[in-house]
Chains A and B, each alone.
Chain A
Amino acid sequence: GAVVSQHPSWVICKSGTSVKIECRSLDFQATTMFWYRQFPKQSLMLMATSNEGSKATYEQGVEKDKFLINHASLTLSTLTVTSAHPEDSSFYICSARDLRVATEAFFGQGTRLTVV
């Protein structure tokens, strides 16, 4: 299947700082990328949907000013957690799809964020 690379896989940051997570589709063009948050032993909760060249659509309850999403190209989307707090500690996963040709979503390997 197609490859989606997410970086970094693990990051620790201090409260108040910002962290950027990258999601790249390596061998296909992702018209749409989804960002999920996953708490321990829980399901994937959609945070936002980003279409290449457009502003992201955020799910209810997700602060757009805190979780900045950029999808400037068909192969790269970034999620920036701004002014991180300990409660932002979580596992963040992106998934990428080319809605023009396929239905399957390919997931990045995830980023475990710990805010201290």
Chain B
Amino acid sequence: GENVEQHPSTLSVQEGDSAVIKCTYSDSASNYFPWYKQELGKRPQLIIDIRSNVGEKKDQRIAVTLNKTAKHFSLHITETQPEDSAVYFCAASIVGQNFVFGPGTRLSVLP
């Protein structure tokens, strides 16, 4: 089955700097890769997703890149703000099937 790894497990950045979180997956059949943000005690919220037919997707300060050959994808947050502090989960799935989540990255944006 699918296995998703995520690095780093914790990340601290200064406000205004960029943050990058990387994930790798094992099942080459996976074709949908969402990223979720979870604030303490709250539900995960989708922040961006990408399908395997696209190499990059951007939404304001957030971007995701996908390298299908290497089976890895990354989340990029630019101009970080304190409200970006949360746990971020990547996931991989085949469209229409279950997600397999990475272990999560705790991002702290220091003012």
Co-complex (A, B) = yes
Interface positions of A from 21 to 50, Cβ below 8 Å from B: 34, 41-44, 46, 49
Contacts of B29 in A (CB 8 A): none
Whether A43 and B101, one on each chain, are in contact in the complex, defined by CB atoms closer than 8 angstroms, is yes
Let me know if B73 is at the binding interface, CB within 8 A. no
Given A49-B98, A105-B34, check contact A42 B46 (CB 8 Å): no
Whether B98 and A34, one on each chain, are in contact in the complex, defined by CB atoms closer than 8 angstroms, is yes
Whether A110 and B43, one on each chain, are in contact in the complex, defined by CB atoms closer than 8 angstroms, is yes
Mark each residue of chain A from 1 to 29: 1 if its CB lies under 8 Å from any CB of chain B, else 0: 10000000000000000000000000000
Partner of A44, one of B46, B49, B89: B89
Whether A103 and B32, one on each chain, are in contact in the complex, defined by CB atoms closer than 8 angstroms, is yes
Mark each residue of chain A from 75 to 112: 1 if its CB lies under 8 Å from any CB of chain B, else 0: 00000000000000000010100010001110111101
A-B interface, 10 closest residue pairs, ranked by CB to CB distance from nearest:
A107-B43, A43-B103, A99-B96, A109-B43, A43-B104, A44-B101, A107-B44, A43-B101, A103-B32, A103-B95
Q: Using a CB–CB distance below 8 Å, which chain A residues touch chain B?
A: 1, 34, 41-44, 46, 49, 93, 95, 99, 103-105, 107-110, 112
Q: A42-B103, A44-B101, A99-B96 given. 13 additional CB < 8 A pairs? A: A43-B101, A46-B100, A93-B43, A103-B32, A103-B51, A103-B93, A104-B46, A104-B49, A105-B99, A107-B45, A109-B42, A110-B42, A110-B43
